[in-house]
Amino acid sequence: MTRTYPGSCHCGAVRFEADIDLSKGTVRCNCSFCRKARAWFTTVPPESVRLLAGGEFQTRYQWKAPGQDEPHLRYQFCKRCGVRTFGYGGDKFIFVNIGALDVDPSELAGVPIRYVDGRNDRYDREPESTAVI
């Protein structure tokens, strides 16, 4: 069931809300960025996320993968505390940092997680090991 979740960065400068159906699952990836950032996210349509405050505190990181002409993903961070809130997959989707949602952790305990092998550009399959994702 889709529910509107509040979210924020650590210092509270950036606040947003997102319409998410957590029963549809979340994603953990082992690409170099996601692994280092310990990323845990879900994707939603662009109209499902609304920035409520702090646009002026957001900054962006873009990375162009080898073989691509331009960056596809734009990661949003709070300039004050460095927490990733949500980011953009072109104009097609928004990925929301599950850790930035302001929810009781017990609600997240049973959320399905799909592991993907981004390190090897195999987003359709699970990596050999999920121990460090």
Would you state the pLDDT for residue 33? 87
Which amino acid belongs to residue 121? D
Handedness of CA 47, 24, 96, 110 (dihedral sign): positive
105-119: burial string, b at 16+ Cβ within 10 Å, e else: eeeeeeeeeeebbbe
Query: Of 78, 74, 96, whose CA–CA distance to 18 is shortest?
Result: 96
Which two structure tokens, joined as six digits, stand for 43? 């994707």
**What are the structural domains, with CATH classification, of the chain?**
3-120 (2.170.150.70)
Say which residue, 90 or 94, is predicted with more confidence. 94
Quick: pLDDT tens for 5-61.
999 999 999 999 999 999 999 999 998 888 899 999 999 999 999 999 999 999 999
Cα→Cα distances 10→23, 49, 79, 104, Å: 25, 18, 11, 15
- DSSP letter at 70 equals S
Q: How many CB atoms lie within 10 A of CB 133?
A: 22
